[in-house]
Chain A
Amino acid sequence: MRSTDDEDFSAFVDASSRRLLRSACLITGNFAEAEDLLQTALEKAYRRWPSIRRTDMPEAYVRRMLVTTAIDAGRRRRPARSALDAESLPGRLDPAIEGVAGRSALLACVRELPPSQRAVLVLRYFDDLTEAETARALGCTVGTVKSQHSRAMARLRELVENDRTTA
């Protein structure tokens, strides 16, 4: 790899790695697993970097590898208690938000969703991707994103309601 490619790759990692790692954390619910996934995705990207950088969308490319691998890992095993467990969230979260039982509880509800639905929510509401961009990141159709999104929101409302009733 040429030194300009190497420099370009370093600049990309510096600029994008935090956002990508945050997405992976939210999807997997496990910081260590998210770090491993990001490392693996970046290794794959590094091998193909000269061609990836020409696409002008290197972050989308890496995000797609990261998200699909995270979903696959999530399907194979239920995430263990982790740094993103509701109980371990930073104390500044407001537990008395009107309409929901608090962000900690909401995050716990998100973690009850299947990995693919969780990924749709993270991509739409954390990464601010459009439906088309979300579909590209997940390697599926826009229709699938819409249906996954609607199922995720319906299930989430149900979980939040149950949580509030229990509380």
Chain B
Amino acid sequence: MSQIEDELRATFEAASDFVQPRSALADSVRNATRRRRRRLTAAFAAATACVLVAAVAAYAAVHSQTSSIVADEHGTVFATVPRGESLVSIAVSGRYLYAEMTPQNGPVSVAAYDRASGRLVGRFTFPKADVAFVSTGPGGSVWAVVGALLNFGPVRIWRLSPDLRLYSVGPKVQSTFILPVSPTTALIPVASGLLRLTMPAPGQPGHATEHLEPGTSLGRGVMTLGSGWAGMLDGRVAIDLPDNDGYDYHVVIAGHPSLRYGNALIPQPAAIAGDSLWFANGLNRPLVRLNGQLEPTTPGFVKADPVLQHVGSVSYADGAIWVTRMDYKLAKNSVVAGKHSLVCFPAQSQHGPVVTLPVHGYIWGLATAGRTLYLTTSRSSDGSPTSITRYPVPAACR
């Protein structure tokens, strides 16, 4: 053994002798793992505009107002998912309703139901994926951001045919949201801006092409893996992004990173209606309306309505804003059970009315198409939704 090798051993030993791992390292690792799981779950929950919090607090009675009315519509079961599976989110496009489902053990899948008959027409299982965000776009296109995130696996873009029988697989991305802008093209927020991705038709040969959109910087210190949602706000792309440590979400306008709004620990509930962003700065916070410059322009009837001061989720479809109300209360370190209420109001109205729907149980997912509202609910806050219920949209919200 040469002298330099002996000296290397002695030097390495002496130079690192002072090193001690921090105390309770195993606990720290477990806690960090749980925090990461919670963060990813929260990101996907908000992206799908579903209520995805395990429990909610005691239900506070919905106060009546002069501008509020209670609808008398009742729901009918539209579809029931296979036994052993639960619904994560739903979306509507054209003649199909899409439902993202997870089994108790196994990869996530998406199913297509015929809206007229409620019949299951197609189902696709993403191999080895534990999360998927399914997004519908123009021309009936179906897109998905799919990944094995809980094992730090890659996140990849898929494009599927409307009946889910054909698919194309796109590139890996560092993002958890996709914004379809045409039947073949989608925008994806990545660290350096918006990626414009064009993919071949599902099942057809060809390669995906991608390029960075000029002038779409999202600014420094944001993380696109964990993005909450994105949408076109007054002709520009608004995105909900966490900062680099993943715990502080803001709305950012792509290309104008100095325009920011909000500051919350989880993705904020939001819906975009043309030139307005309906937004709550965290769960159980008041609903506000922002313009394209992210300035508050909240109508008086929204500020006055007590239901709209405790937002759980916000959706926009066919001219109406839909809001679920949630209350959170901690009791003995756990969240008290309660139930949800659901209201809607015309997006362009300055005076309401705010219409309450008599929905029972916990609302997990919501989608509307024309005069039909689809909901996924469960009886208890820790239950999993296993069926989709169809309601007529109240006349005031059509």
Interface residues, chain A, with chain B CB atoms under 8 Å away: 6, 9-10, 13-14, 17-18, 21-23, 25-26, 31, 34-35, 38-39, 42-44, 46-48, 83-84, 89-90, 92-93, 97-100, 103, 106-107, 110, 121-122, 125-126, 153, 156-157, 160
Interface contact A26-B12, CB-CB below 8 Å: yes
Q: Is B220 an interface residue (CB 8 A)?
A: no
Closest chain A residue, CB of each to CB of B8: A125
Main secondary structure of the interface of B (DSSP, over half): helix
**Chain A residue contacts of B28, Cβ below 8 A:** 39
Main secondary structure of the interface of A (DSSP, over half): helix
Interface contact A17-B25, CB-CB below 8 Å: yes
Closest chain A residue, CB of each to CB of B37: A47
**Chain A residue contacts of B12, Cβ below 8 A:** 26, 122, 125-126
**Chain A residue contacts of B332, Cβ below 8 A:** none
Interface contact B26-A9, CB-CB below 8 Å: yes
Interface contact A21-B9, CB-CB below 8 Å: no
Closest chain B residue, CB of each to CB of A31: B19
Interface contact A18-B21, CB-CB below 8 Å: yes
In the complex, what's the smallest C-beta–C-beta distance from A150 to chain B, in angstroms?
12
In the bound assembly, the distance between CA atoms of A128 and B98 in angstroms comes to 57
Interface contact A42-B29, CB-CB below 8 Å: yes
In the complex, what's the smallest C-beta–C-beta distance from B185 to chain A, in angstroms?
33
Please provide the 5 A-B residue pairs with the shortest distance between their CB atoms, ordered closest to farther. A22-B16, A126-B12, A13-B26, A17-B21, A103-B11
Q: Is B121 an interface residue (CB 8 A)?
A: no
**Chain B residue contacts of A90, Cβ below 8 A:** 14, 17-18
| 19 residue pairs bridging A and B, Cβ less than 8 Å apart | A18-B20, A25-B16, A26-B16, A34-B19, A46-B30, A47-B33, A84-B15, A90-B17, A99-B7, A100-B4, A103-B10, A106-B4, A106-B8, A107-B15, A110-B11, A122-B12, A125-B8, A153-B5, A157-B4
Which of A6, A93, A100 is B3 in contact with, Cβ under 8 Å?
Answer: A100
Name the residue in A97, A98, A103 with the highest tally of chain B Cβ atoms < 10 Å from its Cβ: A103
Which of B7, B10, B19, B26 is A18 in contact with, Cβ under 8 Å?
Answer: B19
**Chain A residue contacts of B17, Cβ below 8 A:** 90
Given A17-B21, A17-B25; 13 other pairs, CB 8 A cutoff:
A9-B26, A13-B25, A13-B29, A26-B16, A35-B22, A42-B25, A43-B33, A43-B36, A84-B15, A98-B3, A107-B15, A125-B9, A126-B9
In the complex, what's the smallest C-beta–C-beta distance from B175 to chain A, in angstroms?
21
In the bound assembly, the distance between CA atoms of A160 and B5 in angstroms comes to 13
Interface residues, chain B, with chain A CB atoms under 8 Å away: 3-5, 7-22, 25-26, 28-30, 32-33, 36, 150-152
**Chain B residue contacts of A125, Cβ below 8 A:** 5, 8-9, 12
Name the residue in B20, B30, B36 with the highest tally of chain A Cβ atoms < 10 Å from its Cβ: B30
**Chain A residue contacts of B7, Cβ below 8 A:** 97, 99-100, 103, 106
Interface contact A38-B21, CB-CB below 8 Å: yes
In the bound assembly, the distance between CA atoms of A125 and B11 in angstroms comes to 10
Closest chain B residue, CB of each to CB of A86: B15
**Chain A residue contacts of B150, Cβ below 8 A:** 47
**Chain B residue contacts of A47, Cβ below 8 A:** 33, 150-152
- Given known A-B contacts A21-B19, A26-B15, A14 and B4 have beta carbons under 8 A apart: no
**Chain B residue contacts of A83, Cβ below 8 A:** 18
In the complex, what's the smallest C-beta–C-beta distance from A94 to chain B, in angstroms?
9
**Chain A residue contacts of B32, Cβ below 8 A:** 39, 43
In the bound assembly, the distance between CA atoms of A92 and B9 in angstroms comes to 16
Interface contact A160-B4, CB-CB below 8 Å: yes
Interface contact A103-B14, CB-CB below 8 Å: yes
In the complex, what's the smallest C-beta–C-beta distance from A62 to chain B, in angstroms?
11
**Chain B residue contacts of A153, Cβ below 8 A:** 4-5
In the complex, what's the smallest C-beta–C-beta distance from B205 to chain A, in angstroms?
34
**Chain B residue contacts of A126, Cβ below 8 A:** 9, 12-13, 16
Interface contact B14-A92, CB-CB below 8 Å: yes
**Chain A residue contacts of B18, Cβ below 8 A:** 83, 90
Name the residue in B22, B25, B151 with the highest tally of chain A Cβ atoms < 10 Å from its Cβ: B25
In the complex, what's the smallest C-beta–C-beta distance from A46 to chain B, in angstroms?
5
In the bound assembly, the distance between CA atoms of A115 and B151 in angstroms comes to 27
In the bound assembly, the distance between CA atoms of A99 and B25 in angstroms comes to 40
- Given known A-B contacts A22-B19, A48-B151, A84-B16, A106 and B26 have beta carbons under 8 A apart: no
